Structures are given as structure tokens and as C-alpha cells.
């Protein structure tokens, strides 16, 4: 963190609600606001949060952002703001994907750690609702395979064919549980660790193990919409 700048800001504008978590002098300040027009919400909410903390924009020494997936416009809001602060205020910028954030929270839970002891060869899968009957998926294992955007049928097939025990974390439509989608086929993470928790989100923001200068968005497209390269 830049010398003299004592404020850390974690922000998620990838979807509703807007989430801002600010830390100054060991105290945490949190703001959530529902609504998809986050370009109009960001500065009023942020300014109110800074005022509560007795700080100003120039005091922000580190910004931590969620790079996606999510709404195109929403993701760009965080990236644009962080980029502006980096170049005008020399603010340090770090970031992670929502997959990584949910994985970070779920793997720290007692439920997952107990499951992992019983299934040492198992892996944690993060499933997030994308659009209608489509889902994002990333499985965290030694293969380090990138995330994918799948139809409901493709998702269920990929999970079933994985071949190793899976513990699943994430959310369905409107942030609801995955139980309606997956039933009892897999152990599911507690709902509270499947959404960003301010304390855990801030812990990520204060950590140094995340990507620095993370200003590249994570946009995913369904395979059927990707252009076919000519042979």
C-alpha cells in the first residue's frame, strides 16, 4: 500500500447488489445497494462510506475488485474506477474473479474442510447462474482449467462425468441455493459462503496473494455464440 494512504477498498459491481467494503485504522465500513444502474450508485455510495470513515478518495491506497463474470457494464464500472485511481492517485489495484472469491470463502469453511479430509482426492466446483437456463462453472483442481459458460444440460453432464468427488459452492437464479438444480447429487456449501461476505471480501483485499494490476475483465461467452475459426 502506498505510504500515507491508509484506506483499503474492496468493491464488487459485477451484479446487483453493489457491494463496497472499506477498511481504515482497523475499522470496517460496509455498503450494499440494490439496482443495476451502478454507474449512478457508485460515487454517492462511496462518498457516503468515505465520510463515515473520515477519509477521502485520495486516501485509498489499495483497491480490490471482482473482475467477473457478470454484467458487462457492471464489470467495466469497477475496472474503469480502479484504472482511474491507479493512474491518478497511484493506488495499488488487485483483483480476483467471482469464482476465486467463492472458492476462497468455501474452502475456509469447516464443512468443506471436514469433507476434504474424507475425500482427499476430491475438488471444489463453483457454479454461478449466468442467464436463463445457463451457468458458469469452474472446478478448482490441479488441472487449473479455465471457467466455462454452459447450458443446464451441459453443466450437469460435465459435473457427472468429472470422475472424482465434488463439493459444490455457488448460487442459482436470484442468488438462491443450487439445491433446486443439483438436488442431493453433491454436497453443497452453506449459502452464506456462496455470496460475498464483507469480512472475507476485505480479507482478500488486504492479502498480497492476489493478482496485481488486475485490470483485465473476465467475460465469458456460451460456446455456441463463439465464432468458428476458418480452417
Helix (H) or strand (E) holding 149: strand 148-151
Predicted local confidence at residue 1, as pLDDT: 54
> Does residue 226 belong to any structural domain of this protein?
no
Give the CATH number of the domain where residue 19 resides.
Answer: 3.30.420.40
> Does residue 157 belong to any structural domain of this protein?
yes
The answer on 80 and 36 residing in a single domain is: yes
Residue 131 lies in domain = 99-193
Predicted local confidence at residue 2, as pLDDT: 52
Predicted local confidence at residue 197, as pLDDT: 96
Q: What's the total number of domains in the chain? A: 2
> Does residue 138 belong to any structural domain of this protein?
yes
> Does residue 231 belong to any structural domain of this protein?
no
In this structure, the chain runs to a length of 231
Q: To the nearest whole number, what is the mean pLDDT of the chain?
A: 92
Predicted local confidence at residue 226, as pLDDT: 45
Predicted local confidence at residue 146, as pLDDT: 86
Q: What is the 3-state secondary structure (H, E, C) of 52-80?
A: HHCCCHHHEEEEEEECCCCCHHHHHHHHH
The answer on 92 and 60 residing in a single domain is: yes
Predicted local confidence at residue 4, as pLDDT: 56
Helices (H), the chain: 38-53, 72-89, 98-107, 110-118, 152-160, 179-182, 198-206
27-76 confidence digits (pLDDT tens): 999 999 988 777 789 999 999 999 999 999 999 999 999 999 988 888 99
The answer on 200 and 134 residing in a single domain is: no
> Does residue 2 belong to any structural domain of this protein?
no
Q: Which residues of the chain have pLDDT under 50?
A: 3, 225-231
Predicted local confidence at residue 229, as pLDDT: 42
> Does residue 103 belong to any structural domain of this protein?
yes
The answer on 160 and 89 residing in a single domain is: no
The answer on 109 and 154 residing in a single domain is: yes
Amino acid at each position: 500500500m502506498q505510504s500515507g494512504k491508509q484506506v483499503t477498498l474492496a468493491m464488487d459491481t459485477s451484479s446487483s447488489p453493489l457491494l463496497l467494503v472499506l477498511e481504515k485504522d482497523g475499522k470496517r465500513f460496509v455498503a450494499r445497494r440494490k439496482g443495476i444502474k451502478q454507474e449512478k450508485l457508485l460515487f454517492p455510495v462511496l462518498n457516503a462510506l468515505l465520510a463515515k470513515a473520515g477519509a477521502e478518495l485520495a486516501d485509498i491506497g489499495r483497491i480490490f475488485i471482482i473482475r467477473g463474470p457478470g454484467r458487462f457494464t457492471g464489470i467495466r464500472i469497477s475496472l474503469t474506477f480502479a484504472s482511474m485511481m491507479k493512474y491518478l492517485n497511484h493506488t495499488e489495484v488487485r483483483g480476483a474473479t467471482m469464482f476465486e472469491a467463492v472458492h476462497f470463502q468455501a474452502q475456509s469453511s469447516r464443512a468443506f474442510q471436514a469433507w476434504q479430509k474424507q475425500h482427499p482426492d476430491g475438488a471444489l466446483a463453483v457454479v454461478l447462474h449466468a442467464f436463463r437456463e445457463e451457468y458458469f462453472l469452474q472446478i478448482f483442481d490441479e488441472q487449473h482449467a479455465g471457467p466455462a459458460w454452459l447450458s443446464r444440460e451441459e453443466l450437469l453432464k460435465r459435473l457427472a462425468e468429472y470422475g472424482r468427488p465434488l463439493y459444490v459452492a455457488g448460487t442459482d437464479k436470484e442468488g438462491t441455493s443450487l439445491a433446486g438444480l443439483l438436488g442431493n447429487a453433491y454436497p453443497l456449501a452453506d449459502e452464506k459462503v456462496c455470496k460475498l461476505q464483507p469480512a472475507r471480501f476485505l480479507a482478500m483485499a488486504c492479502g498480497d496473494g492476489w493478482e496485481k494490476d488486475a485490470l483485465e475483465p473476465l467475460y465469458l461467452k456460451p460456446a455456441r455464440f463463439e465464432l468458428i475459426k476458418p480452417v
